[in-house]
Amino acid sequence: MLLAAGVAGLVVAMTMMIWRAIVGPSQYDRMLAANSFGTKIVLLIAVIGYLSGRPAFLDIAIVYALINFVTTIALMKFFRYRTLSRPLGTEAKDG
Amino acid sequence: MGDVLHVVGGGLVVAGALLTLLGGVGVLRFPDVYTRIHAASLTDTGGATLVLLGLALISGLTLETLKLGFVWAFVMLTTPAAANALANAAFSAGHTPRIGAFQIMKGVAASEARPDTQRRETSDDDESAAP
C-alpha cells in the first residue's frame, strides 16, 4: 500500500516533468526535464519491481540509470555541435 | 520485526516520492533554467536516496540490497554531473540567470530582477538564446 502511494507520487512528478518538457521554453529546460524524467523512471522501475514481487527489475533499473546519463551528455553535445561524430573541443578541419 | 521494517521502508519510499514531487513543483514554477536545474537535481538525488534506502529496508540483507546500492551509486554519480554539465552548457550558450547576484552585478535592481509572468512568457526562447 505504501509502495503504491510511492508509485503514484513518482508518476505525478513524471507528469510534471513531461509538462516542463512540452512547454520549454528553452532547449535546456527540455534536456533537464528528460534527465530528471529518466531518474524518476529508474526509481519507478525499482519500486514497481518490489510492488509486483519481482526484484529482478533492479537489473533494468541499473541499465536505465547508465543509459540516462549517456543520453543527457549526448543530447547536450548534439545541441552544441549539431553532430555526434567529432570529439568535444575540436574544430571542424575538413568537410 | 519484519513488519516494522516493511512499514519503515514503505514510509521512506513515500517520503522520497514526496520529495521528487516537490522537485516537480519547483521545476514547474521556478523562473529560469538555473533555478529549475537546482530544484530538479537536488530533489532527484535526495528522493533517490530515500526511495532506495526504503527498498533496501524492505528487501533485507540479500543480493537485491547490493543492486540497490549500485543503482544509488550510479544516480549519485550521474545526476550532479549531468546538472553541472547542463548549467555549463546553458551558461556558455548565453543564458543569463534571471534572479540573484548576477542581476546585481549587471546593475539591475532587485525589484526589477524579480520575475513576473509577463517576462516569463515573452522572452528566453530557443532562438534568442542561441549564441
- What is the ipTM score, two decimals? 0.82
What residue numbers bound the domain in which A11 lies?
A: 2-81
Q: Does A79 touch chain B (CB under 8 A)?
A: yes
Q: Per residue in B79-127, pLDDT tens? A: 999 999 988 888 888 788 877 776 666 655 545 545 544 444 444 444 4
Residue A92 forms part of a structural domain: no
Q: Find the Cα–Cα–Cα–Cα dihedral B13, B15, B17, B20, rounded to 10°.
A: -140
Residue A90 forms part of a structural domain: no
Show me where the domains of chain B are located. 2-94
Contacts of A13 in chain B (CB under 8 A): 17, 20-21, 23-24
* Domain count within chain A: 1
Contacts of A32 in chain B (CB under 8 A): 27, 33, 36-37, 40, 83, 86
Q: Per residue in A46-89, pLDDT tens? A: 999 988 988 788 899 999 999 988 988 888 888 887 777 766 56
Contact criterion met (CB below 8 Å) for B31 and B103: no
Closest residue of B to A62, CA-based? B71
Closest residue of A to B81, CA-based? A69
Alpha-carbon distances of B38 from A18, A26, B43, B45, rounded to whole Å: 18, 16, 8, 11
Query: What whole-number distance in Å separates Cα of residue B71 and Cα of residue A69?
Result: 12
3-state secondary structure of B8: helix
Residue A7 forms part of a structural domain: yes
Q: Which three cell numbers stand for residue A78?
A: 548534439
Query: What whole-number distance in Å separates Cα of residue A8 and Cα of residue A12?
Result: 6
Contact criterion met (CB below 8 Å) for B78 and A65: yes
Residue A94 forms part of a structural domain: no
Query: What whole-number distance in Å separates Cα of residue A88 and Cα of residue A90?
Result: 6
- Radius of gyration of chain A, Cα coordinates, nearest whole angstrom: 17
pTM for the whole structure: 0.79
Q: What sections of chain B are H helices per DSSP?
A: 2-29, 33-59, 63-92, 101-105, 110-113, 117-122, 126-129
